[in-house]
């Protein structure tokens, strides 16, 4: 049962009073203390009713919030804790509480490369040690795909800050097909992760074209103080990726309606994990278990790679350009295994 902020403040105030055994506390004393606390911390001038404090005491005595406070009345009108060492601020966590905290810590660790989380690294480390003991060193039950050896992760934190501060950058960048890196002057807008690889979406200053640059191909990053930062009014991250599988897309990349058939083995997997959010079932063949799917996406490398990952279990039937592309990719792959080409 959640408690609002004012209620929690009253519980803490009552707790502070009952822990102070140097004086005796009547119900009216507790009401006055809660009223003073609400005024001091929240600026609330309206006093607290006696009934509200009585209900607060009942709540603290119960296990609804996990307090089970041993509040007793003595001499017919005074309140105190029967256990002088008790406090609601020193309650031990339950095993369920520890498990939930441990899972949250495991998730936080996935973002350790960002500066805002780096400052918490020591805290997270101590929490992990404590929680491991509390949960009897139980193995993690939540795990994210992560490659700590991936090149370019050191640029995540600087890029995050540069984007937040709207800073023009000079990036030394070397694509796989170039023997030497070249300097790009860019306006950075967004960091995006796809399949455990990070990309920076940015506009190149020289031609105002939108690019995604892989962080693992970056050699260096420097702020460019000479070129003022400029927003891209045509790049909206909330809508830009709605028709994309992966990250490869330009502003002018056309949208295509793709139809493909999945066999009885692959169809259930594709239904439970759609190729794209636009995916729909057009037809089911109850005899052989095949399913005809349709989705509306940008045709890019990531889409074709996903289709090829299903092997012979998926066949694209339209549009013709997609059929032609996938056929060439398969023929080129098959040629690699041609005995005539084996040395």
**H-state helical runs in the chain:** 5-19, 27-42, 50-61, 95-109, 115-118, 121-134, 156-164, 237-240, 267-272, 301-309, 320-335
Q: What is the pLDDT of residue 51?
A: 93
Q: pLDDT class for 111, splitting at 50, 70, 90?
A: low
Q: Three-class SS of residue 265? A: coil
Q: Is residue 3 scored above 90 in pLDDT?
A: no
Alpha carbon distance 58, 71 (integer Å): 9
Residues 6+ apart with CB under 8 A from 129: none
Instruction: Dump pLDDT digits (tens) for 26-52.
Output: 999 999 999 988 888 777 777 789 999
Q: What is the mean pLDDT of residues 327-343?
A: 83
Please tell me which residue, 87 or 116, carries the higher pLDDT value: 87
Please answer whether residues 114 and 156 qualify as being in contact, where contact means their C-beta atoms are separated by less than 8 angstroms: yes
Please tell me which residue, 335 or 104, carries the higher pLDDT value: 335
Tokens of 99: 């498990």
Q: What is the pLDDT of residue 106?
A: 64
Residue given tokens 């119900």 in the structure block: 27
Please answer whether residues 282 and 293 qualify as being in contact, where contact means their C-beta atoms are separated by less than 8 angstroms: yes
List domains and CATH numbers for the chain: 5-90 (1.10.10), 95-134 (no CATH), 153-240 (2.30.30), 255-335 (3.30.70)
Instruction: Dump pLDDT digits (tens) for 118-133.
Output: 545 555 555 555 555 4
Residues 6+ apart with CB under 8 A from 322: 256, 258, 299, 304, 316
Q: Three-class SS of residue 273? A: coil
Alpha carbon distance 19, 32 (integer Å): 16
Mean model confidence pLDDT for the chain: 84
Q: What is the pLDDT of residue 143?
A: 58
Q: What is the pLDDT of residue 195?
A: 82
Tokens of 176: 């796989």
Instruction: Dump pLDDT digits (tens) for 167-225.
Output: 999 999 988 888 888 999 999 999 988 887 889 999 999 999 998 999 989 999 999 99
Alpha carbon distance 318, 289 (integer Å): 20
The answer to whether the pTM exceeds 0.85 is no
Residues 6+ apart with CB under 8 A from 175: 217
Please answer whether residues 66 and 3 qualify as being in contact, where contact means their C-beta atoms are separated by less than 8 angstroms: no
Closest to 295 measured CA to CA, from 287, 305, 303, 284: 303
Q: pLDDT class for 339, splitting at 50, 70, 90?
A: confident
Q: Is residue 306 scored above 90 in pLDDT?
A: yes
Report the 10 Å Cβ neighbour count for 128.
15
Closest to 9 measured CA to CA, from 27, 33, 26: 33
Q: Measured at the alpha carbon of residue 194, what is the angle toward residues 191 and 199, in degrees to the nearest 5?
A: 35
Q: Is residue 95 scored above 50 in pLDDT?
A: yes
Q: What is the pLDDT of residue 232?
A: 86
Alpha carbon distance 253, 233 (integer Å): 17
Q: 45: exposed, middle or buried (C-beta count within 10 Å: 0-12, 13-18, 19+)?
A: exposed
Q: What is the mean pLDDT of residues 148-164?
A: 81
Q: What is 275-299 written as a DSSP string?
A: SSTT-EEEEE-TTT--EEEEEEEE-
Q: What is the mean pLDDT of residues 315-320?
A: 94
Alpha carbon distance 330, 228 (integer Å): 47
Q: What is the pLDDT of residue 145?
A: 62
Please answer whether residues 194 and 246 qualify as being in contact, where contact means their C-beta atoms are separated by less than 8 angstroms: yes
Q: Is residue 142 scored above 60 in pLDDT?
A: no
Q: Is residue 2 scored above 50 in pLDDT?
A: no
Share of the chain above pLDDT 90, in %: 48
Please give the torsion angle defined by the CA atoms of residues 184, 208, 305 and 336, in that order, rounded to the nearest 10 degrees.
-60
Please answer whether residues 96 and 134 qualify as being in contact, where contact means their C-beta atoms are separated by less than 8 angstroms: no
Q: Three-class SS of residue 175? A: coil
């Amino acid at each position: 049962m959640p408690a609002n902020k004012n209620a929690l403040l009253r519980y803490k105030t009552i707790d502070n009073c009952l822990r102070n055994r140097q004086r005796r506390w009547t119900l009216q004393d507790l009401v006055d203390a809660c009223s003073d606390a609400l005024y001091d911390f929240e600026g609330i001038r309206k006093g607290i009713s006696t009934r509200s404090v009585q209900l607060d005491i009942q709540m603290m005595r119960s296990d609804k919030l996990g307090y089970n406070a041993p509040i007793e009345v003595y001499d017919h009108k005074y309140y105190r804790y029967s256990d002088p060492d008790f406090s609601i601020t020193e309650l031990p966590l339950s095993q369920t509480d520890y498990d939930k905290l441990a899972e949250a810590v495991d998730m936080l660790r996935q973002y350790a490369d960002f500066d805002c989380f780096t400052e918490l690294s020591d805290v997270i480390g101590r929490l992990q040690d404590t929680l491991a003991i509390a949960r009897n060193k139980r193995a993690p039950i939540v795990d994210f795909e992560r490659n700590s050896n991936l090149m370019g992760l050191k640029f995540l934190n600087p890029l995050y800050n540069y984007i937040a501060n709207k800073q023009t950058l000079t990036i030394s960048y070397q694509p796989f097909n170039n023997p030497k890196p070249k300097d790009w002057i860019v306006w950075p807008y967004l960091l995006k992760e796809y399949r455990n690889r990070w990309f920076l979406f940015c506009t190149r200053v020289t031609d105002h074209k939108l690019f995604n640059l892989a962080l693992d191909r970056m050699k260096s990053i420097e702020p460019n103080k000479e070129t003022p930062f400029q927003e891209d009014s045509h790049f909206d991250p909330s809508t830009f990726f709605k028709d994309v599988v992966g990250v490869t897309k330009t502003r002018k990349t056309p949208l295509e309606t793709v139809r493909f058939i999945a066999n009885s083995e692959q169809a259930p997997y594709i239904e439970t994990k759609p190729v794209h959010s636009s995916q729909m079932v057009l037809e089911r063949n109850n005899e052989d278990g095949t399913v005809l799917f349709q989705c509306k996406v940008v045709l890019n490398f990531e889409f074709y790679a996903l289709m090829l990952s299903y092997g012979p279990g998926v066949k694209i039937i339209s549009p013709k350009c997609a059929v032609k592309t996938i056929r060439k990719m398969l023929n080129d792959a098959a040629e690699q295994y041609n005995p005539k080409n084996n040395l």
